């Protein structure tokens, strides 16, 4: 008699074609089609896997491989678990990259929120040991030597830059504190997303 694969194949082909049509419609709907994509993924990764059926999705312009029937669903379950683990790691890594960028931005704005002379001392704390209280500029290097005219000129430019950054930040809606809080809230949201993605 006919094998299980031969008996089931016409039905699986019809279902797979129907699912492809649903995915095409979801693609046309863009953001609104996400729920349809999620349902299509669920039937592929859960319902069909329980029956030992493997469906492979390909881009719309490529021929889709025929559904394959397995006698042992555990083989498919292991494949799905491994695939999801890789996808989870990639998703978490992407979010962690965004977290690092956000932390760098926060560090930059926290420095700019300080009074310019204080920001300069903090930024170059390892390079200088003594500072002029009036000008806010360094007087001695970390080695105890006089600061050269060239280096002093560079530090004046750096102080001017920090002054401009501070003025810009204070002029933001909500001031420096409000602006920084927005970034901290964004960081907290990214950290929540990373924890959620890792738990999936």
pLDDT in tens, 67-77: 777 768 888 88
Virtual torsion, Cα 143, 148, 153, 155, nearest 10 deg: 0
Per-residue model confidence (pLDDT) at position 27: 87
d(C-alpha 140, C-alpha 36), whole Å: 67
Residue whose pair of structure tokens reads 């931005």 in the numeric block: 105
The one-character DSSP state at 114 is: S
Is residue 111 within 8 Å of residue 158, measured between CB atoms? no
Exposed, middle or buried, 9 (CB in 10 Å: 0-12/13-18/19+)? middle
Written as six digits, the tokens of 199 are 């738990």
Virtual torsion, Cα 147, 148, 152, 155, nearest 10 deg: -80
d(C-alpha 12, C-alpha 48), whole Å: 10
Per-residue model confidence (pLDDT) at position 33: 85
If pLDDT is split at 50, 70 and 90, which confidence band does 28 have?
Answer: confident
Q: Beta partners for 140? A: 130, 146
d(C-alpha 198, C-alpha 99), whole Å: 14
pLDDT digits (tens, 9 = 90+) for 30-55: 878 888 989 999 998 888 888 888 88
Per-residue model confidence (pLDDT) at position 55: 84
């Amino acid at each position: 008699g006919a094998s299980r694969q031969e008996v089931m194949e016409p039905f699986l082909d019809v279902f797979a074609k129907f699912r492809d049509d649903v995915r095409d419609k979801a693609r046309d709907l863009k953001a609104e089609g996400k729920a349809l994509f999620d349902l299509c993924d669920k039937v592929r990764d859960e319902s069909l896997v329980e029956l030992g059926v493997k469906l492979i999705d390909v881009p719309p312009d490529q021929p889709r491989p025929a559904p394959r029937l397995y006698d042992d669903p555990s083989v498919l379950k292991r494949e799905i678990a491994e695939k999801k683990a890789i996808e989870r790691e990639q998703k978490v890594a992407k979010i962690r990259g965004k977290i690092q960028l956000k932390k760098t931005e926060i560090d930059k704005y926290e420095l700019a929120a300080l009074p310019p002379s204080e920001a300069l001392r903090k930024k170059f704390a390892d390079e200088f040991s003594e500072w002029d209280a009036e000008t806010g500029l360094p007087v001695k290097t970390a080695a105890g030597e006089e600061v050269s005219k060239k280096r002093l000129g560079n530090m004046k430019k750096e102080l001017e830059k920090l002054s401009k950054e501070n003025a810009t930040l204070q002029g933001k809606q909500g001031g420096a504190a409000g602006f920084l809080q927005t970034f901290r809230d964004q960081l907290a949201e990214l950290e929540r997303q990373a924890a959620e993605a890792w738990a999936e």
